[in-house]
Chain A
């Protein structure tokens, strides 16, 4: 079953006189349960592609269906709701709130899903158990190693039980050992049937995925 369907996607940035085409005629299908790596050099358009898949950005032309739903006419509030329910983001720089416990960081998406406080705590705890951090519930990001911080971020991506996990250079800020740990978690999640789309510029990391899509100058090669 197709989860992500991209058809003739173009993205053009207009900055004054200069036009820049970040994506050219992208066609891509990602099925439920796939573990896909999108690999490309910096400036290749891979981040733009991920932003479009993650509903943070809209294509200039083309069709994007997520889970069978056309997303081109979504209002900002609706795309926010879909991001909340169906998409889990993992960023290169973790993006955890400082001075906020791991548990509360993981629970943030649940706030916007309207989950009650007690239930939020339960669900966040379970998500942290999934990434092996059930002993760090009350630790703040500054008390955690980089690898642990990224695991908290993964727990946050998992907490709403999304259809798809989008990871943008998830190991970019980590040493190779921590990076391997993160990849192990992704493997486990994949084995549990999660759909994962990971963006990277490192071939070593991309190897962890079952399918590798190469992107260069805005085109899939």
Chain B
């Protein structure tokens, strides 16, 4: 029997039991929809984080206190030994190869007239900072070397700070209050959105010298290293480690590249994809068992039909193919409906939360659902093909 005819017969049989076929397919539909949706959400998350990190610049390295991935994990237990001298050492030895900026961070309440902004992140950085991290100003200027040397009280404010303190009016050259001291606003940052739920725009930048004096901090939270050339990021990283080791032990600091950060994140999202996709795949498996169940029922119901078809000349392979094709059509259609639903829901969810549907997830789930149809269709189909026509014709 030719394949076109087999497919036609399968459709006739499927349409003869519309409700049952629909319910059988539903298992596969739900499975495929959830596989696509979960993968879309996780890879959306990955895309989002990756663009955020890449937005910081690919030549970026950062030195953080403590050892990441070592026996002792960083945190409160370990003393932060990173000081401004380390940043200066790097600056001297890596001159011409990279830009360096030490950074300190503190939270503080900002005030302007009767308005205030609680919990803004105050960053004390160096004048070199904008050369390392790609930040853009929507107005004014970033502070300069002279501001830093004189530890002037100047501030560059983020959009949230601007909105909180200056609902109306111009912030530039206004004097705001940072933890009790007066600062002159000299620049405004362009909005940058939030990452991991933290509003990056609720922040102000001031010279590191000023910040250290105001808050009495001598330890650095981070030293940013921006390689001048993307091809020497690795060598700059090696040199930075060697320079820092002169004063510190290797347990005191970590020099992390963007590439390393990205690979850590892609590891995490990879595990997430596998775990969530695996859970969704189980529902596909359950859907497959549903198909097998219905196909077995169908073989039993149609025993006489099978007997008759064999008597009038159907070969066992014709009967097997007919039932197999039915199972594949059921699961394949479930797969197609699932893809449409999965992509559709991903698009709707994408309005609130970044989602991306990778082409491989569509192929994977369609392939998997068809495979489920074949695997779970084979047993009933073989049972049908092996029926003895004499007994099948007598079956009541």
Interface residues of A in 76-92 (CB under 8 A from B): 76-77, 80-81, 83-85, 89, 91
A90-105 contact mask (Cβ, 8 Å, vs B): 1 or 0: 0100010101100000
Interface of B is mostly: helix
Q: Which residues of B contact A76 (CB under 8 A)?
A: 315-316
Tell which of B309, B317, B390 touches A108, judged by Cβ atoms closer than 8 Å: B309
Tell which of B9, B304, B312 touches A156, judged by Cβ atoms closer than 8 Å: B312
Bound-state CA distance A205–B9 (Å) is 37
Q: Which residues of A contact B318 (CB under 8 A)?
A: 112
Interface residues of B in 308-325 (CB under 8 A from A): 308-318
Q: Does the CB pair B316–A111 fall under 8 Å?
A: no
Which A residue's beta carbon lies closest to that of B312?
A: A109
Interface residues of A in 144-163 (CB under 8 A from B): 156, 160
Q: Which residues of A contact B317 (CB under 8 A)?
A: 77
A34-57 contact mask (Cβ, 8 Å, vs B): 1 or 0: 000000000000000001001011
Which A residue's beta carbon lies closest to that of B309?
A: A108
B231 within 8 A of A: no
Bound-state CA distance A95–B305 (Å) is 7
Which A residue's beta carbon lies closest to that of B314?
A: A112
Q: Does the CB pair B316–A77 fall under 8 Å?
A: yes
Q: Does the CB pair B16–A99 fall under 8 Å?
A: yes
Tell which of B308, B313, B315 touches A95, judged by Cβ atoms closer than 8 Å: B308
Bound-state CA distance A100–B12 (Å) is 9
Bound-state CA distance A113–B9 (Å) is 15
Which B residue's beta carbon lies closest to that of A75?
A: B315
Distance in angstroms from B373 CB to nearest chain A CB is 23
Q: Which of B16, B314, B316 has the most CB of A within 10 A?
A: B314
Bound-state CA distance A85–B315 (Å) is 13
Q: Does the CB pair A95–B316 fall under 8 Å?
A: no
Tell which of A77, A97, A99, A111 touches B308, judged by Cβ atoms closer than 8 Å: A97
Q: Does the CB pair B304–A95 fall under 8 Å?
A: yes
Interface residues of B in 340-396 (CB under 8 A from A): 389-390, 393
A114 within 8 A of B: yes
Q: Which residues of B contact A51 (CB under 8 A)?
A: 390
Tally of chain A residues near chain B (CB < 8 A): 26
Q: Does the CB pair B390–A95 fall under 8 Å?
A: no
Which B residue's beta carbon lies closest to that of A88?
A: B312
Q: Does the CB pair B312–A83 fall under 8 Å?
A: yes
Q: Which residues of A contact B2 (CB under 8 A)?
A: 114
B1-28 contact mask (Cβ, 8 Å, vs A): 1 or 0: 1100100010010001000000000000
B335 within 8 A of A: no
Q: Which residues of B contact A54 (CB under 8 A)?
A: 311
B307 within 8 A of A: yes
Which B residue's beta carbon lies closest to that of A89?
A: B311
Distance in angstroms from B247 CB to nearest chain A CB is 85
Which B residue's beta carbon lies closest to that of A81?
A: B313
Q: Does the CB pair A109–B16 fall under 8 Å?
A: no
Tell which of A57, A100, A112, A117 touches B313, judged by Cβ atoms closer than 8 Å: A112
Q: Does the CB pair A112–B316 fall under 8 Å?
A: no
Q: Which residues of A contact B9 (CB under 8 A)?
A: 111
Q: Does the CB pair A95–B307 fall under 8 Å?
A: yes
Q: Does the CB pair A95–B393 fall under 8 Å?
A: yes
Which B residue's beta carbon lies closest to that of A166?
A: B311
Bound-state CA distance A114–B1 (Å) is 6
Tell which of A91, A97, A112, A156 touches B1, judged by Cβ atoms closer than 8 Å: A112
Q: Which residues of A contact B304 (CB under 8 A)?
A: 95
Distance in angstroms from A138 CB to nearest chain B CB is 15
Q: Does the CB pair B313–A113 fall under 8 Å?
A: yes
Distance in angstroms from A206 CB to nearest chain B CB is 22
Q: Does the CB pair A112–B311 fall under 8 Å?
A: no
Which A residue's beta carbon lies closest to that of B8?
A: A117
Can you name 30 A-B residue pairings with CB atoms under 8 Å? A51-B390, A56-B311, A77-B316, A77-B317, A80-B310, A80-B314, A83-B311, A83-B313, A84-B312, A84-B313, A85-B313, A89-B312, A91-B393, A95-B304, A95-B307, A95-B308, A97-B305, A99-B16, A108-B308, A108-B309, A108-B312, A111-B9, A112-B1, A112-B309, A112-B312, A112-B314, A112-B318, A113-B313, A117-B5, A160-B313
**10 smallest beta-carbon distances between A and B, as pairs:** A84-B313, A112-B313, A109-B312, A80-B315, A95-B308, A77-B315, A112-B314, A89-B311, A83-B313, A56-B390
B contacts, CB < 8 Å to A: 1-2, 5, 9, 12, 16, 304-305, 307-318, 389-390, 393
Apart from A54-B311, A83-B312, A114-B2, what are 15 other A-B pairs with CB-CB below 8 Å? Answer: A51-B390, A56-B311, A76-B315, A77-B317, A80-B310, A81-B313, A83-B313, A85-B313, A91-B393, A95-B311, A109-B312, A111-B1, A112-B314, A112-B315, A117-B5
